[in-house]
Amino acid sequence: MKKVTFKNRKEQTLAGLFFSGSPKRPVLIVCHGFTGSKEGKGKAVEMAEFMACDGYPVLLFDFAGCGESQGLFQDISLSGHIGDLQSAVDFCLEGSPGPVITMGRSFGGTTAICHAATDQRVRGVCTWAAPVSLTDLFMGFTDEDLPEDENTTVALAGTEGIICLKKSFFTDLWKYDVLRCSSLIFPRPLLVIQGTEDAVVPPEEAGAIFNSAREPRDLLYIDGADHQFSDRHEYLWEMTLKWLNKYF
């Protein structure tokens, strides 16, 4: 593993960790969840090591405003995340002409879906607990009415405490139809994984993503798993690796 950096479209420096693997394997680019970071409190690093041991190179990176990357968290947006992921693909393809697979947990999974809809360089997509009803999800974390000014911040309460986002974050969400984006991933393979006891993202949203997509597509519900896939990480990684080996 080595630390890497690359620039996004706004010339902000994004921080990453690159795990080397076989040059014959596609590179896996992993998108962390909302308020998360590339390390995933250690679990993302363990997952990357697991995949690299099977030959898959892995890039973990922080979106702008998160972790060690430049930017302010209050300025994040889905469009910004998509642009950062595009820059991550650019970075990986500069070093290798091989295919790229994008993977994402929660909001990172939504990012991967929306990005792949317009970037044909991505050869496959895997999501873990990706939300579809974005406005409903994020409005559920606040009691405030959205302000008129796009630059006014809105306080959201979650498991990490109180965080603030600009109203423009919500305005940007309205641009995206996640189910339509999932339909555009065809003919590239899509894997949708969801825990049945997810209290953040309704499990039926995984079914909606799957139903909107076209073959090749796979859907896996992990019985009893919560939004973090607590105590089910190794099974999650094994099933993801099985899918990777099936198609790549």
- Lookup: tokens for 158: 């979650």
Where are the domains positioned within the chain? 2-132+176-247
For the stretch 107-140, pLDDT in tens is 999 999 999 999 999 999 999 999 999 999 999 9
- Is-contact 198 207, C-beta < 8 A? no
Confidence of residue 160 (pLDDT cuts 50, 70, 90): confident
| Averaged pLDDT score across all residues of the chain | 96
Class of domain 2-132+176-247: alpha beta
The pTM score is 0.97
pLDDT digits (tens, 9 = 90+) for 26-51: 999 999 999 999 999 999 999 999 99
**Res 101 pLDDT > 90:** yes
Q: Residue 103's pLDDT is what?
A: 98
Predicted confidence band of residue 161 (pLDDT cuts 50, 70, 90) = confident
Task: Check pLDDT > 90 for residue 156.
Answer: yes
Cα dihedral 139, 76, 167, 173 in deg (nearest 10): -60
Q: How many Cβ atoms from other residues are within 10 Å of residue 101's Cβ?
A: 27
